[in-house]
Amino acid sequence: MLRSGTKAEAAPPHFTRAASTDFLPALRGEAKSLASSMWSPRGGGVRLWPRRGRVGPRALWGEDELISYLVLFLCPFPLGTMSEVIVSTDWVEKHLNDPKVRIVEVDYDPATAYEAWHVPNAVLIAWRELRHPVKRDFVDPEGFEKLMSERGIAPEHTVVLYGDFNNWFAVYAFWLFQAYGHEDVRVMDGGRTAWAKEKRPTSRERPSFPKTQYKVKRVDWGSRRAYLWEVLNKVIHGEVGRSTVLVDVRSPAEYTGEITAPPEYANEQTQVGGHIPGAANIPWGQAVDPETGRFKPPEELRRLYEGRGVTPDKEIITYCRIGERAAHTWFVLKYILKYPAVRVYDGSWAEWGNLVGAPVKKGNEP
C-alpha cells in the first residue's frame, strides 16, 4: 500500500498482527476518523515518522495500514495480554507478609476507616493525596513519585488496593496507578466490607517500610481519560447514542437535577443540576453486591449494561461528580466485561455543571 518508489521504515513488531486482523469495530471507527484527517489520497499516503537521521523522503502509509496501526495506538490495553487485576480477600490474607506485595488502603475518610482498623501491613493513602495540591487535577508525576516513595512502594511491587465505600477510591487510585505506568496493580474484591464480614485479621498499627526512590515509567492519559472538549464535541455532533455512549453513574436524584450533589458534600454543589444530554443513568452501586461489597457476576453485569445500550462495539465514557464513581464503572466495563474502549470523563458534573453555555438536560430521559 506504499506509494511506488518509496521504502518504508520498519513498522513496530505488532504492526503485522494488527494489519491482518479485523476486530474491535468501535476502535476501528475511531481510528478511521483520525486517519481521515491525516491521510491524503493525492499524496498517496501519510507521513508518520521521519527516516532516522534524515529530513528528506519519509515512508508513506496507506489508509488501511494507518487505520490498523491506530487501532493499536487507541487500544486501552495490550491486546491479548489482559492480566488478572482482581484478587480475593483470601489471596490478600495469604500475602500479608509478602515482601513483593504492598497492600494499600485508599479512603475517603481515614478517621472512620483506616484509623479504626485496617488490613495488617496495609499503608494508607487518603484520596485527597491523589489530587494536585493547588489546581483541580491529579497529583503530577513528581508528586506521585514522592507519595509512593514515602509509602515504601517501588515500581516492581505488586500493589493491592482496597478501601471504604465498596472500593470507590481504591478503583480511582487504580486508574491513576495505571495512568502513571505501574506495571502490577490490583484491587481486592469486596474492600473493607468483605474483609470485615469474613472476620479476617485487622490491625491499628501503621506499618513502616523503607523509603524507596520511585520513578514514573510513563504517563498515559489518552486511553483512560476523556476531556471536556471531547465530550462536548461528541454531544454537539450527535455522536452520543450512536458511536459513543455516555454513562452517568450518579444517583437518580443527581441525574434528574433534583439535587446538584449528595447532601454530605454541601460544599461541592454546582451552578445547575441535571445531566449531559444523551447520557444513560446507571448508578455505580448497581454493579456491586451490597451485602458483600463484591462485584456482581459478569453475566449479571453484562445484562445490566447491555440492557441499557452500553455495548462493547461502542466507545464508552463514564462520568459522575468528580470522577471517583465513574472510575468504578470504568473498571467494571474494562476489566470484568473486557470492553475495549472505555474512558473516564473525570471533569464530570463538577466541571460540566459549572460551564457557561454547556447543554444540560433535566428529568429521567437521556
The closest alpha carbon to 247, from 231, 267, 230, 270, belongs to: 231
> Residue 215 and residue 113: Cα distance in Å, rounded?
29
Active-site position among 320, 333, 341, 342? 320
Rounded to a whole number of angstroms, the distance between the first and last alpha carbons of the chain is 44
Q: Are 260 and 270 in contact (CB under 8 A)?
A: yes
> Quick one: cell of 230?
471531547
pLDDT of residue 270: 87
Same fold, 86-197 and 228-352: yes
pLDDT of residue 263: 76
Kindly give the parts of the chain with pLDDT less than 50. Answer: 1-27, 37-83
pLDDT of residue 238: 96
Q: 156: number of CA atoms within 13 Å, CB side?
A: 4
Angle at 62 between CA 57 and CA 66, to 5 degrees: 105
DSSP state of 72: H
pLDDT of residue 19: 28
The domain 86-197 is classified under which CATH number: 3.50.50.60, 3.40.250.10, 3.40.1260.10, 3.30.465.10? 3.40.250.10
Q: Can 75 be counted among the known catalytic residues?
A: no
Q: Write down the domain spans for the chain.
A: 15-74, 86-197, 228-352
Query: Cα dihedral sign for 306, 220, 168, 104?
Result: positive
Residue 280, SS3?
Answer: strand
Q: What is the value of pTM for the model shown?
A: 0.77
pLDDT of residue 262: 79
> Quick one: cell of 201?
485479621
Q: Are 278 and 365 in contact (CB under 8 A)?
A: no
CATH of domain 228-352: 3.40.250.10
pLDDT tens-place string over residues 270-316: 899 999 999 999 999 999 999 999 999 999 999 999 999 999 999 99
